[in-house]
Amino acid sequence: MTRKGFASSMMAILILLCLPHRAVAQDLDVLVKHALKFASDQLKRSVVEINDSTRFARCSMPDGSWKTTAAREWTSGFFPGALWYMYEYTKDPFFKKSAEKWTAGMAAERFDTGTHDLGFKIFCSYGSGNLLSPSEEYQKVIVQAAKTLSGRFNPVVGCIKSWDNRKWVYPVIVDNMMNLELLFWAAERGGPKTLRAIAVKHAETTMKNHFRADGGTYHVLSYDTTNGSVLVRNTHQGYADESVWARGQAWAIYGFTMTYRFTKDPRFLETAQRAADYFIQRLPADQVPYWDFQAPEIPNEPRDVSAAAICSSALFELSSYVKTDAQKTQYLDRAKNILRSLCSAPYLAEGTSSHALLNHAVGSKPAKSEVDVSIIYADYYFLEAILRYLQLGK
């Protein structure tokens, strides 16, 4: 898009924000319906393109086609999860059959002791499947995955270990909050009750150590396993140790909102709101963040639709928990405004070569990996945000 075209898009968004509430809501309904039709077409195309249920969409290649990965990669659960979401909306047997096929390809991952990402891998695939098509088999896989994940918990540190074989002694990343849903769910459905205690303790430790006074989060902390003290606070995918990586902040909003859902502990709700307030107060006019809130070349830095989609989805849920009408309106309106941008150019991939749903995501800019591409987890949370928006009218 040219600079002039981008400016025109910004003007259109500003005009929409000034319209009466009824007109804006109607416009978003139209945008969402159109985006879902586009998403259905793209996902059908992707199923045919990938074909092999042992391979999973990850990010777009230069020609727009999918780069795929094996099930062992942390992103693998998002493709079957997106198919389940599309089945939820369309009730099309094609999506159910496809979702079941790629979910089955994840089965062995329930025993993967080498990763903290079992929540992403198993709950986004099997968890979504069990919600729409409950099965004892699916539930057994989820509970086993939770048991496997719990083996990475260190009671001295009070956290689940993130990575193995890295430069840190005991690294814990803010992303890890997202995997707690697996533990909470399993503890309520036949798994050991200790799974809930582990999830709560991890959230408490993250709440204590990952946040700055202004509500921004650190990406990576390393702990001393002999006494649980924090050794360093670093970043891995953000701009700098003291900057705030946008997707990491979105993980925090989502993770603490979800933790409040299971615990109803007001401390976690307050933490989710602190993370959300930091995020939304620093958004540019079109509501899609730059990849890092302190990236040095803003406004000439890449945007990250994955952070936007995660945040939008989380804000829809967060708005249902807050205590005042003003807070509810603030979070709900912001969730809708983010979603409105994602359903529109230049972020919706319609009319481009991408086989995905959204353009302009960032995986890891410091590593020069997956910068300004389509990424499957952006699509997954985009669909989730849309479905949560549609639930508002029911």
Q: CA separation (Å) from 25 to 62, 101, 392?
A: 36, 37, 11
d(CA 15, CA 56): 40
Asked if the peptide bond before residue 299 counts as cis, ω within 30 degrees of 0, the response is yes
Q: Given CA atoms 90, 96, 98, 100 in this order, what sign does their dihedral have? A: positive
d(CA 52, CA 105): 9
- For residue 290, report the phi and psi dihedrals to the nearest 5 degrees: -70, 160
d(CA 342, CA 327): 23
Residue pair 120/78 in contact (Cβ under 8 Å)? The answer is: yes
Exposed e or buried b per residue across 152-178, where buried means at least 16 C-beta atoms within 10 angstroms of its C-beta: bbeeebbbbbbbeeeebebbbbbbbbb
Asked if the peptide bond before residue 346 counts as cis, ω within 30 degrees of 0, the response is yes
Q: What is the DSSP letter of 56?
A: E
Crossing angle of helices 266-280/305-318, nearest 10°?
A: 140
Q: Which are the catalytic amino acids?
A: 117, 175
- Of 247, 197, 281, the closest CA to residue 362 belongs to 247
CB neighbour list of residue 257: distance below 8 Å, 6 or more residues apart = 269, 272, 314, 317, 318, 321
Amino acid (one-letter) located at 188: E
